[in-house]
């Protein structure tokens, strides 16, 4: 990997930390307000989002290793490499599905453990699942809006270049 790629990855990580995590914390705060009826502190939500991100990163890596994703070299044999690539799609889908499910449950657990009502009581795991479901729906809608906006911005810039 070249130095430019490493630098780009580090800049992307920095942007995610400085922009993405606070936005995700605000969305989690809104999700708790919608699903549980109270508004937790921003820093507590930021901590939950950051911890869920780190745990999700390691879970995704573990599931990738468990499903053997990334090991398709097959020792230089083209037929074995082709057979390995044929099974790669199923392995990747399986790892993504399992990672999504476990990540959802872990995030709900973190919400249940770290976000408390004003009296200090936990909101309960069932309500935490509802909070994470609302959070995921809002994140998906925001992601679609940002993606469409960036695509339109990119297509507009490309059209201007013509």
How far apart are the C-alpha atoms of 37 and 119, rounded to whole Å? 13
Residues facing residue 46 across a β-bridge: none
The answer on pLDDT for 104 being more than 80 is yes
CB 19 within 8 A of CB 49: no
pLDDT recorded at residue 57: 87
The answer on pLDDT for 88 being more than 80 is no
| Domain boundary assignment for the chain | 23-161
Confidence at 31, pLDDT banded by 50, 70, 90: very high
pTM: 0.77
Which carries the bigger pLDDT value, residue 4 or residue 22?
22
Which carries the bigger pLDDT value, residue 137 or residue 156?
137
How far apart are the C-alpha atoms of 31 and 136, rounded to whole Å? 9
DSSP of 93-105, one letter per residue? Answer: HHHHHHHHHHHHH
Residue-wise pLDDT for 139-150, tens only, equals: 999 999 988 888
CB 76 within 8 A of CB 151: no
Confidence at 97, pLDDT banded by 50, 70, 90: confident
pLDDT recorded at residue 125: 94
Confidence at 94, pLDDT banded by 50, 70, 90: confident
How far apart are the C-alpha atoms of 117 and 119, rounded to whole Å? 5
Residue-wise pLDDT for 107-125, tens only, equals: 999 999 999 998 989 999 9
Residue-wise pLDDT for 37-80, tens only, equals: 999 999 999 999 999 999 988 888 888 777 776 655 445 566 66
The answer on pLDDT for 14 being more than 90 is no
Q: Among residues of the chain, what percentage have pLDDT more than 90?
A: 46
In the chain, the N- to C-terminal Cα span, in Å, equals 33
């Amino acid at each position: 990997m070249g130095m430019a790629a490493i630098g780009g990855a580090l800049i992307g990580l920095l942007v995610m930390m400085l922009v993405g995590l606070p936005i995700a914390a605000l969305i989690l705060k809104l999700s708790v307000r919608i699903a549980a009826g109270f508004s937790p502190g921003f820093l507590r939500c930021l901590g939950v989002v950051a911890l869920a991100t780190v745990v999700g990163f390691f879970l995704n890596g573990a599931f990738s290793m468990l499903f053997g994703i990334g090991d398709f070299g097959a020792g230089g044999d083209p037929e074995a490499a082709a057979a390995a690539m044929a099974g790669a799609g199923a392995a990747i889908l399986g790892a993504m599905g399992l990672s999504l499910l476990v990540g959802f449950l872990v995030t709900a657990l973190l919400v249940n453990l770290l976000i408390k009502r004003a009296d200090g009581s936990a909101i309960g795991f069932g309500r935490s699942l509802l909070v994470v479901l609302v959070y995921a729906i809002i994140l998906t809608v925001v992601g679609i809006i940002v993606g469409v906006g960036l695509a339109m911005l990119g297509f507009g810039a490309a059209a201007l270049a013509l």
